[in-house]
Amino acid sequence: MGYTDQRFDVNLSILYTELPLLERPAAAAAAGFTAVELWWPWIDTPTPAQAELDALKKALEDAGTQLVGLNFYAGQLPGPDRGAVSVPGEESERFRANVDVAADFAASVGCKALNALYGNRVEGVDPAVQDELALENLVVAARAADRVGAILLIETLNKPESPLYPLVSAPSAIEVVDKVNAATGLGNAKFLLDLYHLAMNDEDLSEVIEKYAAKTGHVQIADKPGRGAPGTGELPLEDLLDQLRKVGYDGYVGLEYKAADAAASFAWLPAEARAAE
């Protein structure tokens, strides 16, 4: 039990950031991992040149790494933005332009989970107008994900670090998941359960797991405080992952933590437990 029976993947947008994007899959593989995830890697464009998409696909394949999660275009992330689906005007249009690009890329590498970050509240815009736009865009995204056999993920962030982001509790994200599924009838919208963000919101993590594991499509972890590797903070991550396993979650667990030296930061996880079976 504990860490050794989980399927971990490395988030290459927060770890190995000292390396160029195309070198990161090989670095994760060198540390023993076979699965990786990414935020949208081209923060300045929702529609990169096909050659750039092909180069990333080749880097993943050459390293023998499986991409298991990919964000849709989310604005300047890392940076001030927290997604685009609810942001009127140009950002919403960029999101729409990205939907099929991201879905087609996911299909090309066998990635089965696409994360759509909701977007910050915009000063002077009625939240109800933003929520209506978000639902429209998420329905488009859910249909595109379904077309390539993938799920659509909706993520809770944390209020201290993302004060303008409206989904800062598990129930708030679950409500959006349910609305998207009701609108599409596809049932492929799922909760992205990030234990770090939920802990930063002072939620009862065991209760969230108990209540929402069945609606969870992906899990991410980091320790609190500091968003470091497991064991650097106070969260009982091993116990929480055990609980997730017991209530039926058998998907991937994304390592979305900060570390000055990624390779050294994996000491908490035995080398033989790093390949995702």
Catalytic residue among 234, 256, 272, 277: 256
Report the alpha-carbon distance of residue 240 to residue 253 in Å, rounded. 12
CA distances from 261 to 14, 70, 125, 235 (A): 11, 23, 41, 21
256 is catalytic: yes
**Which two three-digit tokens encode residue 64?**
């023998």
Query: Phi then psi for 261, rounded to 5 degrees?
Result: -130, 100
Q: Do 191 and 154 meet the contact criterion of CB atoms below 8 Å apart?
A: yes
Contact, 154 vs 177, CB < 8 A?
Answer: yes
SS3 at position 135 = helix
Burial class of residue 16, CB neighbours in 10 A (0-12, 13-18, 19+): buried
* CA–CA gap between residue 138 and residue 86 (Å, rounded): 9
Query: Is-cis flag, bond preceding 127, omega within 30?
Result: no
Looking at the DSSP bridge assignments, the partners of residue 36 are 10, 67
CA distance linking residue 230 with residue 79, whole number of Å: 24
Determine contact, residues 93/198, Cβ cutoff 8 Å: no
How far is C-alpha 34 from the chain's CA centre?
17
Q: Which of 37, 91, 155, 203 is flagged as catalytic? A: 155
CB 84 within 8 A of CB 117: yes
If we measure between CA atoms, which residue out of 235, 276, 273, 272 comes closest to residue 257?
Answer: 235
* Catalytic positions: 155, 256
